[in-house]
Amino acid sequence: MTAHISIREVSKTYPPAKRGGSAVEAVRSVSVDVAKGEILGVVGYSGAGKSTLVRLINALEPVSSGYIEIDGVDITSLKSRQQREMRRGIGMIFQRFNLLRSRTVAGNVSYALEVAGTPKAQRAARVKELLDFVGLGDKADNHPEQLSGGQQQRVGIARALAAEPGILLADEATSALDPETTDEVLSLLQRVNRELGITIVLITHEMEVIAKIADRVVVMERGGIVEAGETYDVFTNPQSPVTKRFVATVVRALPSGDDLARLREAHGGRFFTIEFSDDSASEARVFRALNREGAEFQLIHGGIDDIRGRIYGRLLIAVHGDDDAIARAFAAVAKTIRITEVE
């Protein structure tokens, strides 16, 4: 796997806002590789350092220490003219879309082509091609304020693609949109990734966004990376407290504390969680195995989520029966299904 973007021990410290104040370490010793053609999600609460990281990746600000390579070139040591050139290979989309209100939809995209140096004779055809790609061929002559938020972001994406970038940085690109429109924009970003092969770094505070399209995710807190991994793994086995909080916004937490105590009292028996992935017949296999061994069970709580197109199912069951029989039943299915006793 070749790294498209390689971020190595990067820190960014802002000087104190006023004399006697303290410096802000917005990014602390961050190292992460982004593979060519992948969608990397960066998630964190407000102030975690996500936007700063984006500004460092496109060299809008200098790093305080460490370095960043894009296609093997250290961009932190480039002269400003070379940096401008490098930046042409990076498209950006923003939370507030940042479209020019005085120009039509076509005008916004055309302007980006102009800046990218596309000869005038080719621009009209390219504008049409780009607007068709984002599904707005019929809105060319409208002004941005005549479009919905989702449509405006699609113009933003068309504009970002104008210079045929290899990388797209999306900074909270769906945060101003409702859930349905968010899905629409995310599907488009997925097409940008799959059909055009563009590497995407997706900054967000919405775990839903990560669950839908990110191949991998890094979780940031106070400037540092606290957790990183394949999206499915992070969702199904989060480690740090902040990651667990984020995951709980998508994957419904199992009952705990007083709720769990009440359920135990009501149902009796031993409590187990059953976790399974792609095989949607998994829970039936567990139930059959318990039946076979003569153990009784009740389903207490359950949910199935879709993480990056894969199923993640989790059930809580109360089981009554002989301990050996229960152990035999679970051993029979343990290969593909994770079963944990809830203490």
Binding site residues, ligand ATP, CB under 6 A: 14, 24, 26, 44, 46-52
CB atoms within 10 A of CB 122: 11
In whole angstroms, give the CA distance from residue 88 to residue 160: 10
Residue written as token pair 């029979």: 332
Quickly count: other Cβ atoms within 10 Å of residue 179's Cβ.
Answer: 10
CA distance 274 to 340: 7
Closest to ligand ATP by CB, 14 or 100: 14
**Distance in Å, CB of 171 to ligand ATP, minimum:** 8
**Tokens 């079963």, residue?**
339
The token duo for 246 is 């984020």
CB of 56 to ligand ATP, least distance (A): 10
Tell me whether residue 277 is exposed, middle or buried, using C-beta atoms within 10 angstroms of its C-beta: 0 to 12, 13 to 18, 19 or more. Answer: middle
Phi and psi at residue 222, to the nearest 5°: 45, 45
Q: Which is nearer to ligand ATP, 14 or 84 (CB)?
A: 14
Nearest distance in Å: CB 201, ligand ATP: 13
Residue 44 or 166: the one with the smaller Cβ distance to ligand ATP is 44
Q: In the complex, what is the shortest distance from the CB of residue 50 to ligand ATP, in angstroms, rounded to a whole number? A: 4
Minimum CB distance to ligand ATP smaller for 46 or for 256 = 46
Q: Which is nearer to ligand ATP, 24 or 78 (CB)?
A: 24
CB of 293 to ligand ATP, least distance (A): 51
Give the nearer residue to ligand ATP in terms of CB position, either 26 or 90.
Answer: 26
Find out whether 315 and 248 touch, Cβ atoms under 8 Å. Answer: no
**Cβ atoms of residues 321 and 268 within 8 Å:** no
Q: Which is nearer to ligand ATP, 22 or 102 (by Cβ)?
A: 22
Q: Residue 91, Cβ neighbours under 10 Å: how many?
A: 26
- Give whichever of 158 and 220 is closer to ligand ATP, judged by the CB atom: 220
Residue bearing tokens 């039509």: 104
Report, in Å, the least distance between residue 276 CB and ligand ATP: 34
Q: How far is the CB of 84 from ligand ATP (least distance, A)?
A: 20
Smallest gap from Cβ 41 to ligand ATP, in A, equals: 13
Per the CB < 8 A criterion, the answer to whether 173 and 95 are in contact is yes
d(CA 214, CA 38): 8
What CA–CA distance (Å, rounded) separates 241 from 261? Answer: 23
Q: Which is nearer to ligand ATP, 24 or 116 (CB)?
A: 24
Shortest Cβ 76–ligand ATP spacing (Å): 17
Distance between alpha carbon 303 and the CA centroid of its chain, in Å? 21
Task: Calculate the alpha carbon distances from 284 to 176, 322, 325 in Å.
Answer: 41, 20, 17
Residues 162/126, Cβ–Cβ less than 8 Å: yes
